[in-house]
Amino acid sequence: MNFDVDDAVTEFRAEVRAFLAQELSPELDEQVYRSGVSHDAAFVRRLAERGWVGPGWERGDDHHKLDPYEVHVLVEELTKAEAPIYAISTTEMVANVIRGVGSEALKAEILPRFLRGEVTIALGMTEPEVGSDVAGVRTRARRDGDRWIVDGQKMFTTNGHVTDYIFLLTRTRPDGPKHAGLTLFLVRLDQPGIEVQAVYTLSGERTNIVFLSEVVVEDRWRIGDVDAGWPALMIALQDEHSAPFSPHLARLIDAVEEWGRDTGRIDEPDVRERFGRWATTLEVARLLELRTTWMSANGQVPVAEGPMSKLFSTESLVHAAEDLTELVGPDALRSRLDPTALVAGRIEHALRFSLGTAIYAGTSEIQRNIIAQHGCGLPRK
Ligand SMILES: Cc1cc2nc3c(=O)[nH]c(=O)nc-3n(C[C@H](O)[C@H](O)[C@H](O)COP(=O)(O)OP(=O)(O)OC[C@H]3O[C@@H](n4cnc5c(N)ncnc54)[C@H](O)[C@@H]3O)c2cc1C
């Protein structure tokens, strides 16, 4: 067993940090915070110029493919810095599905543009009445010759107001088992019949509700076979369940350490006791994330290990944010919009931000169900 990363990965981490120091300007950071939109086309272009969009993909350009540990470090550093990568991350999830089950024409249309950072895709799974039980979606696609007519609503379509496409989960067979009548499409968001309305969330993140009314979608935009959307969707959900959340905990711990040093309270026993606790938790969260990377690198699918990692790191973040806010006291609650806020309001933001992490990408209850079934071998419920 070896817990070391090699020198090349350590050097690569320094390269990513140097990139962020140059490209993630205070103005861009402020724009992301104030707008609640984790996407910036110019920043994504900079990433693409380095070959860091789809970094682990085999590619036909001048960039070399990063190994899984370099990709791990890249995502960790970008996430910790709160770089605007959410839209390009959801785009990569969908690009993976297209690469797996899309037609050759769709691959040719989307994948090279994805690697150049020229295309963005929002996730359109959740609906106002359907979240965890995603196979229950009601958005309907009816066949009409070589095109489809789509009607319905999607909820929490994050970045849907700035992306080019929505990855749309639809019901194509209203009768029969619900998992067997689903079909996926890639749908342009700037076409007649689509209306995108803002939804603002507790953390300040902007997401959307998308209304679809008699939207015409040519059959060439279908992803995979008709009524075969469920297994294809699993490719995307598996990626989502393995997303790293420990960098958010690391950022919070750094902020509280900065507060401790600035105020001279870093040597107090209570402060040190809590740091010991959360540093240990952070280490476990990182190791669980590294394990999912190791499994993927070795051709294994982290069916239960991804959810274990997501569950542990997001619930730890929620508890750490509460505990460290209590430690710092009421001053921790002043927001970044107050120029004199402690550590630029990062503790207060972590407290609000943490709650959503235990909901999106599968709630904690759903992660526990997956672990019980696939990790412990309990019967499906
Ligand atoms: C900030 C934010 C951004 C999001 N972005 C996107 C996005 O871009 N695209 C997208 O498609 N979706 C997005 N979502 C939606 C997210 O995936 C759903 O909110 C999530 O899947 C939960 O669905 P729900 O809100 O309908 O809750 P429900 O599924 O109605 O769940 C309500 C409660 O019941 C529990 N529960 C449900 N089923 C079970 C069960 N079988 N066993 C035990 N407990 C259960 C849940 O854990 C939860 O506590 C986003 C959500 C948020 C908050």
Report yes or no on 381 lying in a domain: no
pLDDT value at position 361? 94
| Per-residue pLDDT tens over the stretch 213-272 | 999 999 999 999 999 999 999 999 888 888 899 999 999 999 999 999 999 999 999 999
State which of 360, 367, 373 you would mutate to test the pocket of ligand 1, scoring each by most atoms of that ligand within 8 A of its C-beta: 360
Same domain for 348 and 297, yes or no, is yes
CB atoms within 10 A of CB 70: 22
Under a CB-based contact definition with an 8 Å cutoff, are residues 62 and 71 in contact?
no
Which segments of 200-304 does DSSP mark as H helices, in order? 229-241, 246-263, 269-297
- Reduced to 3 states (helix: H, G, I; strand: E, B; else coil), residue 321 is helix
Ligand 1 touching residue 356 (CB < 6 A): yes
The upper half-sphere exposure of residue 26, i.e. CA atoms within 13 Å in the direction of its Cβ, equals: 1
Tokens, residue 95: 């690009």
Report yes or no on 171 lying in a domain: yes
Q: Which atom of ligand 1 is nearest to the CA of 381?
A: 41
Q: Which domain holds residue 152?
A: 121-228
Q: Which of 197, 228, 259 is the last residue of a domain?
A: 228
Ligand 1 centroid to residue 306 C-alpha, Å:
17
pLDDT value at position 1? 74
Ligand 1 centroid to residue 316 C-alpha, Å:
19
Report yes or no on 320 lying in a domain: yes
CA-to-CA distance for 147 and 356, rounded, in angstroms? Answer: 37
CA-to-CA distance for 227 and 377, rounded, in angstroms? Answer: 28
Ligand 1 touching residue 132 (CB < 6 A): yes
Same domain for 253 and 369, yes or no, is yes
Q: Which atom of ligand 1 is nearest to the CA of 90?
A: 8
Taking the CA atoms of residue 34, residue 39, residue 45 and residue 51 in that order, the dihedral angle to the nearest 10 degrees is 120
Same domain for 339 and 248, yes or no, is yes
Same domain for 191 and 266, yes or no, is no
Q: Which residues partner with 154 through β-bridges?
A: 210
pLDDT value at position 263? 96
Ligand 1 centroid to residue 209 C-alpha, Å:
14
Under a CB-based contact definition with an 8 Å cutoff, are residues 364 and 310 in contact?
no
Ligand 1 touching residue 31 (CB < 6 A): no
- Reduced to 3 states (helix: H, G, I; strand: E, B; else coil), residue 215 is strand
Ligand 1 centroid to residue 354 C-alpha, Å:
15
Q: Which of 200, 228, 256 is the last residue of a domain?
A: 228
Residue nearest to atom 37 of ligand 1 (CA): 132
Residue nearest to atom 45 of ligand 1 (CA): 365
CATH code, domain with 146: 2.40.110.10
Report yes or no on 90 lying in a domain: no
Q: Which atom of ligand 1 is nearest to the CA of 362?
A: 21
pLDDT value at position 93? 97
Q: What is the mean pLDDT of each run of 10 residues along the chain (381 residues)?
A: 84 98 98 97 97 94 92 97 98 97 98 97 98 97 98 98 98 93 98 98 97 98 98 90 93 98 97 98 97 94 96 98 98 95 97 97 96 93 69
Ligand 1 touching residue 167 (CB < 6 A): no
Report yes or no on 201 lying in a domain: yes
Based on C-alpha coordinates, what's the Rg of the chain? Answer: 21
Report yes or no on 57 lying in a domain: yes
Q: Which atom of ligand 1 is nearest to the CA of 129?
A: 26
The contacts found for 326-332 with CB under 8 angstroms, 24 or more apart, are 327/256, 327/270, 327/271, 327/274, 328/256, 328/259, 332/259
Under a CB-based contact definition with an 8 Å cutoff, are residues 66 and 73 in contact?
no
Residue nearest to atom 43 of ligand 1 (CA): 365
Number of domains in the chain: 3
Ligand 1 touching residue 311 (CB < 6 A): no
Ligand 1 centroid to residue 151 C-alpha, Å:
22
